[in-house]
A and B are shown apart, each in its own frame.
Chain A
C-alpha cells in the first residue's frame, strides 16, 4: 500500500511534470523540539484570541464619554479615561491581527517540512494541431454571428459604435472649442470688476458681509477682504479668485512702497493712504498666501514657501512663485467705505495660464 505522500508525489510527476526532489520534516515527528514549537504557535494564537476578546470588551464597556459626569455627555478637555478609548481599541485589534499573522507565519516557517520541487518549462509554441484547432474555432464563431448573411445587423451596429466614439470625443474636443475669454473674460475678470456691479466700484467686505472702513485695520495689521458683489456671493466659491489681503503699512514702509510703485506703473496710485491690497491667491499654485510678517513686510504662502515683498509691489523673493501678486487699487466711496477701484488693473490673479501676459 502506497502512502498518501507517495500518491501525491507520483500524481504531481505524471500529471503536471512536478518532481519533488527533496522533502524533509524540520523535526522528527513527535520529538521534544516539535512539541515545543507547537506550544509556541499555540500560545501566539491564544494571545491573538485574547486581544480580540479584549477589543470587544473595550468596545462595549470602556467609559466612552465622561457620562455620568456633571456636564452629561459634553466633551471635556483634559485627561480622562475616555481619551484612551480610541488608542486602546486600535491597540487591541492591532495586536490581535498581528499575532494571528505571526502565528500563521511561524507555523509555516517552523513546523511545515522543507520541500524542493522542480517543474520543466514548456518549450516553444503549442503543437501545430492545437494551433489549427484554435484558429478554426475563432473563424467558426465569426461565421455563426452571421454578419455577412444579415446586413441589417451590420448597419445597425454602426449606430452604437459611432455614438460611443462621439461621446468619448465630446469632452476633449469640447474643451478645445469653449472659449474662456468669451462672453466674459473669466481669466481676467474677478468679483472686483465694476462692470459686474452696475459700473460702480465694488466695496470691500469682511467674510460676514460687513463693509470695511479704512480705520478698521490697525497699523501693522491685515484683514482678508472679499468683494461685496451684487449677487451677495463675494465670499463664496463663486468668487474664489477674488479674496484680497488688505494691509495697513507703517508710515516708513508705506512711503517705501509708494516710491517703489514707479517700477510697476500699473500700481501707481493704487494705495489708499497707507493701506494696500494684494490678491491673496498665490501666483504659483493658487494657495491663499496669508502669512503676513509685519516687521519684514513679507507675505508667505504656506503651500510651497513662496515669499512676496509687500514693499516692492509684492515681488516674489523666495520660493517657486515667479510673478507678482496683483495689486487692487483702493479708493473710498461716498459713505466712507473702502472700494476696489479697478479689477486689479486688468492683471489676472492666480497661477499662470497659456495666454497670461507678463506681469
Chain B
C-alpha cells in the first residue's frame, strides 16, 4: 500500500473540503427559499455572502435587514462602511458597549472586501473610489487646513484622538490605512459625523489623508509623544515629574549637611 506524502494528503484534503463546500453551497442555492437574493452576484460577492452567513448573520439578519436590539440594517450602508468596520476588527463585535473598539481583525482585507461586495449588492451605498490601500496623492498643506477645520475638534490636532461623552471617544488614527481613513470620512462610523462628497470632495479627502499619513510618519520630538493627546497629558506629566524633582531638590538644599 502506498502512503501519499504529507503535502499530497493536505492538497487532497483541501480539494475535498472545497468540493464539499461547493456541493453544500450549490444545494443550498437550489433549495433555499431566498435564492433570488443571490442571483447575479459576482464571484467575490458570493464568497462574501458565505462569510456573511457565518459571521454577520446573527446580528444583521439573513438579508442584511438587521435584527432589532442586536445589529442595524446594512441595506444601503455601502461597501465602504463594511470594509472599514471589518478591516479594523470592529466587526464582528465582541459585545455591545459604549464604543466598539479597533482590534485585530477576524478577516483579512480580501475577505473584508468580499463581504463588502456582498453588502453593496444588497442595497448600494457609498464606495471607496480607488482600488488598493493607497489613496491618490493629496496636497498635505491643504489637507492640514481641512483637518483643523473638520477633524481636529474630536481627533485632536495631532490625530491622537480624544474623549467624547459617556465612555465614548474619538480614536487615534495610528494604524489606519488610506483606505480606512477614506471609508471613515465617507461613512461616519459609530458617532463620527458623515462627510459625504458634497461636503468634502474626494480630492479634499485625499488631501486630508495625505496630511494624516504625513503626520503619522513623523517621530515625536523628544521621543515620547504621551499618546499625542496634547497639552493636558504633557502638562500633567511635567507638573508631576517636575514638582517631585523640585521638592526633593529644595529639601536637599535646605537640609542640614
A: which residues have CB within 8 A of B? 26, 77-79, 83, 86-87, 105, 109-110, 207, 213, 215-224, 288, 290-296, 298, 300, 302, 307, 318
Contact A221 B218 (CB under 8 A): no
- B26 is an interface residue with CB less than 8 A from chain A: no
How far apart are the CA atoms of A221 and B218 in the complex, in Å? 30
Residues of B within 8 A of A318 (CB): 165
Shortest Cβ distance from residue B106 to the other chain A in the assembled complex, whole angstroms: 23
How far apart are the CA atoms of A291 and B222 in the complex, in Å? 30
How many chain-B residues does the 8 Å CB contact rule pick out? 30
Residues of A within 8 A of B252 (CB): 105
- Write out, one digit per residue, whether chain B residues 168-184 have a CB within 8 A of any chain A CB (1) or not (0): 10100000000000000
Which one of B153, B221, B257 lies within 8 Å of A288 (CB-CB)? B153
Contact A221 B199 (CB under 8 A): yes
Shortest Cβ distance from residue B143 to the other chain A in the assembled complex, whole angstroms: 13
- Write out, one digit per residue, whether chain B residues 148-181 have a CB within 8 A of any chain A CB (1) or not (0): 0100011000000010111010100000000000
B: which residues have CB within 8 A of A? 149, 153-154, 162, 164-166, 168, 170, 188, 190-196, 198-199, 214-215, 217-219, 221-223, 252-253, 257
Residues of A within 8 A of B166 (CB): 296
How far apart are the CA atoms of A294 and B165 in the complex, in Å? 12
Residues of B within 8 A of A86 (CB): 221-222
Residues of B within 8 A of A221 (CB): 188, 193-196, 199
How far apart are the CA atoms of A296 and B219 in the complex, in Å? 35
Residues of B within 8 A of A295 (CB): 190-191
Contact B149 A207 (CB under 8 A): yes
Residues of B within 8 A of A218 (CB): 188, 194-196, 198-199
Task: List 16 A-B residue pairs with CB atoms under 8 Å apart, sorted by A's residue number.
Answer: A77-B214, A77-B218, A77-B219, A79-B219, A87-B222, A105-B253, A216-B198, A216-B199, A218-B198, A220-B193, A221-B195, A222-B193, A294-B188, A296-B191, A298-B165, A302-B153
How far apart are the CA atoms of A293 and B149 in the complex, in Å? 16
Which one of B192, B223, B257 lies within 8 Å of A294 (CB-CB)? B192
Shortest Cβ distance from residue B171 to the other chain A in the assembled complex, whole angstroms: 13
Contact B153 A291 (CB under 8 A): yes
Residues of A within 8 A of B222 (CB): 86-87
Q: Contacts A105-B253, A224-B149, A293-B165 given; indicate if A217 touches B198 (C-beta within 8 A).
A: yes
Residues of A within 8 A of B221 (CB): 83, 86-87
How far apart are the CA atoms of A293 and B222 in the complex, in Å? 34
Shortest Cβ distance from residue B186 to the other chain A in the assembled complex, whole angstroms: 9
Residues of B within 8 A of A87 (CB): 221-223
Q: Contacts A221-B188, A221-B195, A318-B165 given; indicate if A291 touches B154 (C-beta within 8 A).
A: yes
Shortest Cβ distance from residue A93 to the other chain B in the assembled complex, whole angstroms: 15
Residues of A within 8 A of B219 (CB): 77-79, 83
How far apart are the CA atoms of A126 and B218 in the complex, in Å? 71
How far apart are the CA atoms of A217 and B223 in the complex, in Å? 40
How far apart are the CA atoms of A291 and B151 in the complex, in Å? 9
Residues of A within 8 A of B253 (CB): 105
Residues of B within 8 A of A110 (CB): 257
Residues of B within 8 A of A83 (CB): 219, 221
Contact B149 A300 (CB under 8 A): no
Residues of A within 8 A of B192 (CB): 294
Shortest Cβ distance from residue A256 to the other chain B in the assembled complex, whole angstroms: 17
Contact A220 B188 (CB under 8 A): yes
Residues of B within 8 A of A207 (CB): 149
Q: Contacts A87-B223, A216-B199, A217-B199 given; indicate if A294 touches B218 (C-beta within 8 A).
A: no
Shortest Cβ distance from residue B9 to the other chain A in the assembled complex, whole angstroms: 48
Shortest Cβ distance from residue A103 to the other chain B in the assembled complex, whole angstroms: 13
Shortest Cβ distance from residue A62 to the other chain B in the assembled complex, whole angstroms: 14
Residues of B within 8 A of A105 (CB): 252-253
Shortest Cβ distance from residue B160 to the other chain A in the assembled complex, whole angstroms: 14
Residues of A within 8 A of B191 (CB): 293-296
Shortest Cβ distance from residue B141 to the other chain A in the assembled complex, whole angstroms: 12
Q: Contacts A77-B218, A207-B149, A302-B153 given; indicate if A293 touches B164 (C-beta within 8 A).
A: yes
Residues of B within 8 A of A302 (CB): 153, 162
Shortest Cβ distance from residue B242 to the other chain A in the assembled complex, whole angstroms: 12
Residues of B within 8 A of A219 (CB): 194
Shortest Cβ distance from residue B245 to the other chain A in the assembled complex, whole angstroms: 10
Given contacts A207-B149, A291-B153, A296-B165, 15 further A-B contacts (CB under 8 A): A77-B218, A77-B219, A86-B222, A110-B257, A215-B198, A216-B198, A217-B198, A218-B195, A221-B194, A222-B193, A293-B165, A293-B191, A294-B193, A296-B168, A298-B165
